[in-house]
Amino acid sequence: MPFPEIRLRRLRRTESLRALVRETSLDPGDLIYPLFICPGEGVRNPISSMPGVFNLSIDQAVREAEEASSLGIGGLLLFGLPDSKDEKATGAWDDNGIVQRALRALKQNSAAKKLVLMADVCLCEYTSHGHCGVVLQSGDTYEIDNDPSLELLAKTAASLARAGADIVAPSDMMDGRVAAIRRALDADDNTNTPILSYASKFASAFYGPFREAADSAPQFGDRRSYQMDGANLREAMREIELDLVEGADMILMKPAMPYLDVVHAARERFGVPIGAYQVSGEYSMLHAAFEKGWLERDRTMLESLVGIRRAGADFIVTYFAKDAAKLL
């Protein structure tokens, strides 16, 4: 029957009614909090383009993890700022590297070890040139050499798993990296370590603030020859399918808000756990609007996260994790 017999507003009259029929839920356990780990002790350096986000020494990262655990947050995603960089990203796969040391410290903390500890697997923070793989350069021309990069990525994943990572998360977008990592993990007796593949990571303008946070900006060129073209949805589905065939256990979409159609298409097509990364630019642009008074902070923050969940993400990597968990 049409109006006036049918009135959809009947179920919107009170908060209790709205809660009863709400289709999408958001809980602290759905949130993953990224941390940027740097050398030193007692270090808590603010990142100018990301209000409320810091480069943290390991002792400070443990304190953040304790708070995240107390808030019921699902886990952490760890990035490292090494003591030094070189062309082979030695700090990424060094068993005494910055993230490896952080993982061991977190696993020794009773509160922190309740969290799922995810370790980003990439080379860009550790290479002197800032690219995500081995660079072949001749004069003014260069190429990211895919196959030699796989060996370094596999060594990195194996080292992180040995240090205590519950999940390794390759974000480099080299072809074949998931299979190489799976072989390395299995050969190292870490058959139970899952791989969360950044299966469709787009070459996005929304990563700008992250490059300050992780000190990972390319020293020349850009990453468009290996990260995905933002115009391509069908190609994203091919990337995901190939990563799953190679052995990925979970997939991650990046960025989130400008690519909700990709999240939704993946959810409709693949029956695996799916995450979405609300990246630095998304976080920073919302904060800029909060500071101007143009958007209401709490409502906007939660609405952005609910929208990502509604599109199909099972979990969300977000710098809002602590603030959102406190509200929830």
Half-sphere exposure at residue 22, Cβ-oriented, CA atoms within 13 angstroms: 14
Q: Which of 85, 155, 201, 322 is catalytic?
A: 201
Q: Which residues pair with 196 in a beta bridge?
A: 250
Distance CA 217, CA 211 (A): 5
**Residue 288 contacts by C-beta under 8 Å, 6 or more apart in sequence?**
none
Token readout for 280 is: 């630095």
| Active-site residue flag, 326 | no
Q: Which of 254, 292, 322, 326 is catalytic?
A: 254
Unique residue bearing structure tokens 């469709």: 200
Please name the residue that has the structure tokens 């596999």.
154
Backbone angles phi, psi at 324, to 5 degrees: -65, -40
Closest CA to 251 of 188, 290, 202, 201: 201
**201 belongs to the catalytic site:** yes
Q: Coil, helix or strand for 198?
A: strand
Alpha helices, DSSP H only, in the chain? 15-20, 58-70, 90-93, 98-107, 146-163, 177-187, 208-213, 233-246, 260-269, 280-292, 297-311, 321-327
3-state helix, strand, coil in the chain (%, to 5): 45, 20, 35
Catalytic residues: 201, 254
